[in-house]
Amino acid sequence: VSATPLISRLAIIGVGLIGGSLSLALKRAGQVGEAVGYGRSAANLQDALRLGVIDRIAASPAEAVADADMVIVAVPLGAMQATFEAIRPALSPQAIITDVGSAKASVIAAARAGLGECLPRFVAGHPIAGAEKTGAAAAQAELFQNRRVILTPSPETLPAALEKTWQMWQAAGAEVLDMAADEHDRLLAATSHLPHLLAFALVEMLARRPPQEDIFRFAGTGFRDFSRIAASDPVMWRDICISNRAALLDALNQYRAQLDSLAVAIETSDGAALQALFQAAKTSRDSL
Amino acid sequence: VSATPLISRLAIIGVGLIGGSLSLALKRAGQVGEAVGYGRSAANLQDALRLGVIDRIAASPAEAVADADMVIVAVPLGAMQATFEAIRPALSPQAIITDVGSAKASVIAAARAGLGECLPRFVAGHPIAGAEKTGAAAAQAELFQNRRVILTPSPETLPAALEKTWQMWQAAGAEVLDMAADEHDRLLAATSHLPHLLAFALVEMLARRPPQEDIFRFAGTGFRDFSRIAASDPVMWRDICISNRAALLDALNQYRAQLDSLAVAIETSDGAALQALFQAAKTSRDSL
């Protein structure tokens, strides 16, 4: 614990699993003076206060960011621009603003539109962490331990803002790296957004079968693993699909071509092609 | 433990995870006099003997089934017919023959071609159980505890053969049910074979990207869950895809149409359609 914490006043807009866990991690590390939270659900904010996730509840986004030197915007992607617009007039001249959204080019565009003169102090970020539970009550100080956080600064970003955001995530236990926003969006489309889409698509397709078939009765552990992410938050994933539209469509179209080839291999009973593809996949997956 | 075990001599052709675990479960239940095993790998058979999975190693499939009253054929789907042909001359007149393959209509066709006059004593079966490990060393007596086993008798199957196979799986701890082979194949295509194909397809597609991208570095827990089944045995899954070709193609084509619709929804930023589909999937998955 340092004598002077990295952050004097932390503002969290959206005190859910991610924003709440970040606050807890920074508090445990002794790097926060006071944590102020704002969110749409009063019950969730009361949970956050009771559990020590935040020290004070603000009545508005603007009130939350007053005198804060670090502002975490942890709202759904669809609410980013409105949130930026709401906090902009109340931001202190020293405040650094960062976010935790799963798509980055769209958030930078929202910051460009909504933050105005504060844009150089905005650092787009994405912690690759999550859990099945949501809300402040699910927050845990260890959530980012040994997990990666990708920061995607834009040309306007001040080096000092990037540096402090980087230190903050390191203090929370994360391994931090940076890359271009469009590179992030392409990578995450492939490793996260497309798999979620594929799992949602399969479960919904099976659920549409006549109920007397009771198809899920025969689901084994493989199906359970594969489909776990289909229980993710529909609104959050709607926003991700739309926010990362171009990169996700590229990945989806590549995958559709892959399935076209596989359909031909099955139709023609091409065992050699199937085995080669399955073996290549197994080799990669085993190395994970 | 009953005074007279259900099975005097159990023959296992293919002493892997499934065949080995069944033998262990029946031995623990006191329902096996002697368990004789045959397989292609001498080292695996030695493991099985050492671990008490089998009591004796046979030098051929025919030697394994001599005087056996229950024969478990636990070989890959592609080896079923040749195995049936190899054991047929050595089967005792009382022997009941069953299998554990993941596709059933093709196994019944193989039995019809390979078992000849023994066909009425063949009971096609599929335990919906598995684990990431393979081989006799991974066998465990608890593998089928509270797991479902589907038996798919054909018109020729003797009721007494179905009854004894049913009792055997119950003694191993499983919940047994029966249905038509084509119904089984349609259900499993949807809940198991298609998900495996989709996971293999995604991992292989990502593995083909330039290695400098190191895309798997950014894989979160969602991707790990989704892709776990892509580490499954390539030869086994090649055989399943070919053996259950028709039902799998039906399911795959329905899924490709589902992805066509999703691509349109993303292209047109149709948030309402995406959210409705994701919500329906979540509701189903949450009820699993």
CB contact under 8 A, B259 and A224: no
What's the rounded Cα separation, in Å, for the pair B160 and B158?
5
CB contact under 8 A, A200 and B277: yes
List of chain B residues whose C-beta atoms are within 8 Å of the C-beta of residue A127: none
| Chain B contact present for A255, CB below 8 A | yes
State mean pLDDT over A246-256: 97
Among B146, B184, B218, the residue to mutate for chain A (most A Cβ within 10 A): B218
- Beta strand segments in chain A, E: 7-13, 32-38, 56-57, 70-73, 96-99, 122-123, 125-127, 148-151, 175-178
- Each residue's pLDDT tens digit, A214-248: 778 788 888 999 999 999 999 999 999 999 999 99
pLDDT of A133 strictly over 90: no
Report whether B101 contacts B192 (CB < 8 A): no
Residue B181 CB-half CA count within 13 A = 20
Compute CA distances B42 → B14, B38, B82, B171, B207, whole Å. Answer: 11, 9, 20, 29, 34
Q: Measured between CB atoms, which of B192, B259, B265 is closest to A222?
A: B192
For B175, phi and psi rounded to 5 degrees? -95, 115
CB contact under 8 A, B225 and A220: no
CB contact under 8 A, B207 and A281: yes
Q: Measured between CB atoms, which of A245, A252, A287 is closest to B259?
A: A252
Q: Provide the 10 A C-beta neighbour count for residue B262.
A: 24
Distance from CA of B262 to the nearest CA of A (A): 8
| Chain B contact present for A267, CB below 8 A | yes
CB contact under 8 A, A204 and B281: yes
| Chain A contact present for B253, CB below 8 A | yes
CB contact under 8 A, A248 and B266: yes
Partner A, chain B 2-41, Cβ-Cβ below 8 Å: none
pLDDT at A132: 67
Distance from CA of B204 to the nearest CA of A (A): 4
State mean pLDDT over A65-94: 97
What's the rounded Cα separation, in Å, for the pair A95 and A121?
7
pLDDT at B221: 85
| Chain B contact present for A229, CB below 8 A | yes
Ranges in chain B, pLDDT < 50 = 1
What's the rounded Cα separation, in Å, for the pair B149 and A139?
40
Q: Measured between CB atoms, which of B205, B206, B226 is closest to A229?
A: B226
**B32-38 sheet: strands from edge to edge:** B56-57, B32-38, B7-13, B70-73, B96-99, B122-123
| Chain A contact present for B146, CB below 8 A | no
pLDDT of A1 strictly over 60: no
CB contact under 8 A, B255 and A260: no
pLDDT of A52 strictly over 60: yes
Strand partners of residue A73:
A13, A99
pLDDT at B134: 84
- Each residue's pLDDT tens digit, B194-235: 999 999 999 999 999 876 667 788 888 889 999 999 999 999
Q: Measured between CB atoms, which of B190, B226, B232 is closest to A199?
A: B226
Taking all residues of chain A, what is their mean pLDDT, rounded to a whole number?
95
Q: What is the complex's ipTM, to 2 decimals?
A: 0.90
Report whether A149 contacts A176 (CB < 8 A): yes
Written as one letter, the residue type at B235 is: V
Q: Measured between CB atoms, which of A190, A228, A231 is closest to B206?
A: A190
- Each residue's pLDDT tens digit, A152-196: 999 999 999 999 999 999 999 999 999 999 999 999 999 999 999
Among A126, A202, A213, the residue to mutate for chain B (most B Cβ within 10 A): A202
Residue of A nearest to B282 (CA): A231
State mean pLDDT over A89-93: 97
Written as one letter, the residue type at B24 is: L
Q: Measured between CB atoms, which of A215, A219, A228 is closest to B225?
A: A228
List of chain A residues whose C-beta atoms are within 8 Å of the C-beta of residue B237: 274, 278
For A3, phi and psi rounded to 5 degrees? -65, -45
CB contact under 8 A, B282 and A230: yes
Report whether B71 contacts B11 (CB < 8 A): yes
Partner B, chain A 91-120, Cβ-Cβ below 8 Å: none
Q: What does the longest C-alpha to C-alpha distance in chain A come to?
A: 70
For residue B165, give the nearest of B81, B71, B86 by alpha carbon: B71
| Chain A contact present for B286, CB below 8 A | yes
| Chain A contact present for B212, CB below 8 A | no
pLDDT at B219: 84
- Hunting for tokens 């787009």 — which residue is that? A124
pLDDT at A3: 72
